[in-house]
Amino acid sequence: MHENDGPVTPAGGDDASSGAAPDGGAGPDSTATDDAGLLALLRAAPVLAGPLPEFDPDGAPDTPGPLLAAWLRQALADGVPEPHVMTLATAAADGTPSARVLMLRGIDTAACAVDFASDAASRKGRDLAENPRAALTWYWPAQGRQIRLSGRVHVLDTETARRDFLGRSPASRAAGFTGSMSGTLTGAMAYERARAEAEALVAAEPGRVPDGHTVYRLRAQEAEFFQADPGRFHVRLRYAREDEAAGAREREGGRDDAGGPGAAGWTRTLLWP
Ligand SMILES: Cc1cc2nc3c(=O)[nH]c(=O)nc-3n(C[C@H](O)[C@H](O)[C@H](O)COP(=O)(O)O)c2cc1C
């Protein structure tokens, strides 16, 4: 169990006794006291309270793409906010990790592949150029659902990048021409000037695409579906492409009791939550 199931301080119960100063703490001990108060408030926040949907892994499809699509559709139907926003984790060649949220820009259910777009010169773009492996995660608290895809990432063709960019609103396209993503911004003036120039450029040349605009495709080698349960009887189902399945089993110590080798080269495995 990863979430805290232990006793908690009632939310808002003893903020005054924490000694928190209105400005965030002045004395040498106040920061630690504030941290303790903050932690108490966080631990009192409900987690996985439910009701949550049930997930029967025996009824899951043989391949992960249709399950990914079904969970995304269910998230939309249930009104999950921004279900197409996901966290992308990358690592530089030296292993330094980083993660950020971005938007899903394409999906290939049959291939279990997901597209996202960014600037090739951004930190993530540089990471992917050095090390084309990444993970994508989604977490939808109202459903207690988490999905993780991991695998190799490759760059899609420039026509795809062009269509992706030109399909955006003028404001979004102007943002794509403003400054250089992940570079240092020297101040508000520079930002305003760059933005005004970008807006003028988009108005004058509506068909222009920034040089670095890139659509990336992550083809899942592993896909994992986590369905939380309010009683903490969580379910984790992992799919691995058969060529990678042996290595993945070894890494995580899972059991092949969810159906064994499936269709189209995927193995399904239940994992201890
Ligand atoms: C809701 C949301 C959606 C975002 N979508 C994208 C996106 O589709 N592509 C992108 O490059 N950055 C997107 N961003 C910004 C990224 O989170 C990140 O700040 C930026 O890409 C720079 O990341 P990097 O320095 O790690 O490369 C989004 C941010 C938010 C909050």
In a domain, 3, yes or no: yes
What per-residue confidence (pLDDT) applies to 50?
Answer: 86
Pick from 206, 122, 207, 209: which is nearest to 158 by CA?
209
Only one residue has tokens 């106040």, namely: 30
Distance separating alpha carbons of residues 273 and 203, to the nearest angstrom = 52
In a domain, 43, yes or no: yes
Pick from 89, 143, 136: which is nearest to 112 by CA?
136
Does 150 contact ligand 1 (Cβ within 6 A)? no
Return the ligand 1 atom nearest residue 118 CA: 11
Output phi, psi for 142, to 5 deg: -65, -20
Return the ligand 1 atom nearest residue 124 CA: 27
Q: Would you say residue 194 has pLDDT above 90?
A: yes
pTM recorded for the entire structure? 0.85
What per-residue confidence (pLDDT) applies to 250?
Answer: 55
Q: Which of 85, 101, 173 to mutate to test the pocket of ligand 1 (most atoms within 8 A of CB)?
A: 101
252 Cα–ligand 1 center, Å: 30
Cα first-last separation, the chain = 7
Mean pLDDT of all residues in the chain?
A: 87
Does 182 contact ligand 1 (Cβ within 6 A)? yes
Q: Is 248 left (phi over 0), alpha (psi -120 to 50) or beta?
A: alpha
Domain count, the chain: 2
Q: Whose CA is nearest to atom 6 of ligand 1?
A: 102
Return the percentage of the chain with pLDDT > 90, whole number: 78
Q: Do 30 and 78 fall within a single domain?
A: no
In a domain, 222, yes or no: yes
272 Cα–ligand 1 center, Å: 32
What per-residue confidence (pLDDT) applies to 40?
Answer: 97
Q: Would you say residue 38 has pLDDT above 60?
A: yes
* 272 and 236 Cβ atoms separated by less than 8 Å: yes
What per-residue confidence (pLDDT) applies to 18?
Answer: 40
Which CATH number does the domain housing residue 152 bear? 2.30.110.10
What per-residue confidence (pLDDT) applies to 249?
Answer: 56
Q: Is 32 left (phi over 0), alpha (psi -120 to 50) or beta?
A: alpha
Return the percentage of the chain with pLDDT > 70, whole number: 82
Tell me which residue range forms the domain holding 265: 57-163+213-271
Q: Would you say residue 24 has pLDDT above 70?
A: no
Only one residue has tokens 């003036």, namely: 189
Residue predicted with more confidence, 25 or 242: 242
Confidence tier at 152 by pLDDT (50, 70, 90): very high
Kindly report which listed range (44-48, 185-189, 204-208) carries the lowest average pLDDT score.
Answer: 185-189
Does 160 contact ligand 1 (Cβ within 6 A)? no
Q: Do 8 and 117 fall within a single domain?
A: no
Q: Do 78 and 37 fall within a single domain?
A: no
Confidence tier at 264 by pLDDT (50, 70, 90): low
Q: Would you say residue 179 has pLDDT above 80?
A: yes
Q: Is 180 left (phi over 0), alpha (psi -120 to 50) or beta?
A: beta
Q: Would you say residue 112 has pLDDT above 90?
A: yes
Output phi, psi for 67, to 5 deg: -70, -40
Convert 73-104 to b/e letters by CB count within 10 Å (16 or more is b).
Answer: eebeeeebeebbebebbbbeeeeeeeeeebeb
Q: Do 34 and 121 fall within a single domain?
A: no
Q: Whose CA is nearest to atom 18 of ligand 1?
A: 100
Q: Whose CA is nearest to atom 31 of ligand 1?
A: 101
Does 104 contact ligand 1 (Cβ within 6 A)? no
What per-residue confidence (pLDDT) applies to 97?
Answer: 98
